[in-house]
């Protein structure tokens, strides 16, 4: 490859692109052109299975013969990958004469154009070339793709566009439990509305220009009511900003995410939900308590511990009962469950501050757990687990 090359992105939408060759390399080149919207024309006496599928789906037109001078008429771009040097050289020479850019798979140094290895994340595309060494380019591409996916590169826009909202579940406290997609969207954010139990350590990685709004709630203290949070999400998105609502756990598991998504939809704001690791399952696991286990529990019921519940329905259920936000109402909950027929000896665990250095587990029974929790000074955030699986804490915790 001559140096320096001139990097350029091409809009091939609707434009004729010719692929000469019928093997796997030609199939990969054809697929990329199709994905870019080109009108793809394949010339080869025979085609591999992948190209056969593209022909059958009418994604490409196939001329089942050897290449002939004239096949490039009307083309904007040609990629040749026949495996035969003489044929590839003929295609390149015809392309040069017709002033059509030609990419050769067999000899990068003889090409007039090169296809880079590409890493994509949302609307960001990073192209990598490496001096005609495709394997080296792929290795670099993979490293860049990982950095894009994990949000470790600066992805935030500096020009306003269409505003969006992402409801991102951050998991139960440990920053390492957020998904890679959630991490990337956070790296793209202009505005972040953050909950008290979200992985706040991630905020230190944000661009200093990102607006961070603390909307964290504690029992009896709601600095911003839900309607105001909904309004802020919509207002910032309508101003062309990327907005992330960073939550602990999962947005759709007792996280008010449904209400926020509906507010965005009603306002015509694009909204995406990124699931998170819910504390209802993860925090018990951190204490060595699987919420289901063969021979002990085949089902799990998750409920909000500080709202009026139908104890008459919950008490007879088999399996595991998990209460979120259940510390303040623990005495009432255990008393109601026993009153409605659940055995007083049923094992109970309260797991505080899961996945943090303050994690602590208190175990007892429906009869004793409220007293034990009070004696130990149990504080939220905590997850209450009720059922026979609690006994596994002693073995796995």
| CA 310 remoteness from chain centre | 35
217 included as an active-site residue: yes
Which is the catalytic residue, given 217, 332, 388, 391?
217
First to last CA, the chain: 59
> Each residue of 140-167: b (16+ CB within 10 Å) or e?
bbeebbebbbbbebebeeeeeeebbbbb
Assess contact for 361 and 349: CB atoms under 8 A. Answer: yes
- Residues 280 and 289: their CA atoms lie apart, in Å, by 11
In order of 178, 200, 260, 267, 308, the CA distances from 251 in angstroms are 12, 16, 9, 19, 21
195 included as an active-site residue: yes
Which is the catalytic residue, given 195, 247, 250, 342?
195
In order of 118, 150, 161, 362, the CA distances from 265 in angstroms are 33, 28, 18, 42
The total number of residues written for the chain in this structure: 397
**Token pair of 23 as six digits:** 């093997």
3-state secondary structure of 241: coil
Angle at 107 between CA 105 and CA 112, to 5 degrees: 85
> Which residues carry out catalysis?
195, 217
């Amino acid at each position: 490859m001559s140096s320096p090359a001139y990097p350029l992105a091409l809009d091939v939408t609707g434009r004729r692109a010719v692929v000469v060759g019928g093997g796997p390399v030609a199939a990969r080149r054809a697929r990329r052109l199709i994905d870019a919207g080109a009108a793809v024309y394949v010339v080869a006496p025979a085609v591999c299975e992948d190209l056969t599928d593209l022909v059958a789906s009418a994604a490409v037109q196939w001329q089942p013969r050897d290449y002939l001078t004239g096949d490039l008429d009307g083309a904007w771009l040609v990629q040749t990958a026949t495996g035969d040097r003489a044929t590839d050289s003929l295609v390149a020479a015809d392309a040069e004469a017709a002033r059509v850019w030609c990419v050769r798979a067999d000899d990068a140094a003889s090409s007039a154009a090169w296809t880079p290895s590409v890493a994509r994340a949302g609307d960001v595309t990073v192209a990598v070339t490496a001096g005609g060494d495709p394997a080296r380019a792929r290795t670099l591409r993979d490293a860049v793709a990982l950095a894009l996916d994990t949000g470790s590169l600066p992805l935030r826009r500096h020009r306003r566009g269409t505003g969006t909202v992402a409801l991102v579940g951050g998991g139960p406290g440990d920053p390492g439990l957020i998904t890679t997609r959630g991490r990337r969207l956070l790296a793209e954010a202009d505005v972040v509305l953050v909950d008290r139990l979200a992985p706040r350590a991630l905020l230190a990685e944000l661009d200093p220009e990102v607006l961070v709004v603390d909307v964290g709630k504690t029992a009896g203290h709601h600095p911003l009511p839900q309607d105001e949070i909904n309004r802020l999400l919509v207002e910032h998105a309508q101003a062309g900003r990327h907005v992330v609502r960073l939550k602990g756990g999962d947005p759709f598991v007792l996280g008010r995410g449904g209400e926020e998504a509906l507010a965005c939809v009603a306002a015509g704001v694009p909204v995406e939900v990124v699931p998170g690791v819910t504390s209802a399952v993860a925090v018990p696991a951190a204490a060595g308590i699987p919420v289901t286990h063969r021979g002990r529990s085949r089902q799990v019921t998750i409920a909000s511990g500080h709202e009026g519940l139908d104890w008459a329905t919950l008490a007879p259920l088999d399996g595991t009962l998990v209460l979120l936000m259940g510390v303040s109402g623990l005495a009432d909950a255990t008393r109601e469950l026993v009153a409605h027929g659940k055995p007083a000896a049923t094992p109970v665990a309260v797991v505080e501050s899961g996945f943090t250095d303050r994690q602590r587990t208190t175990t007892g029974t429906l009869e004793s757990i409220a007293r034990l929790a009070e004696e130990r000074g149990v504080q939220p955030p905590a997850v209450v687990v009720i059922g026979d699986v609690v006994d596994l804490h002693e073995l796995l915790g």
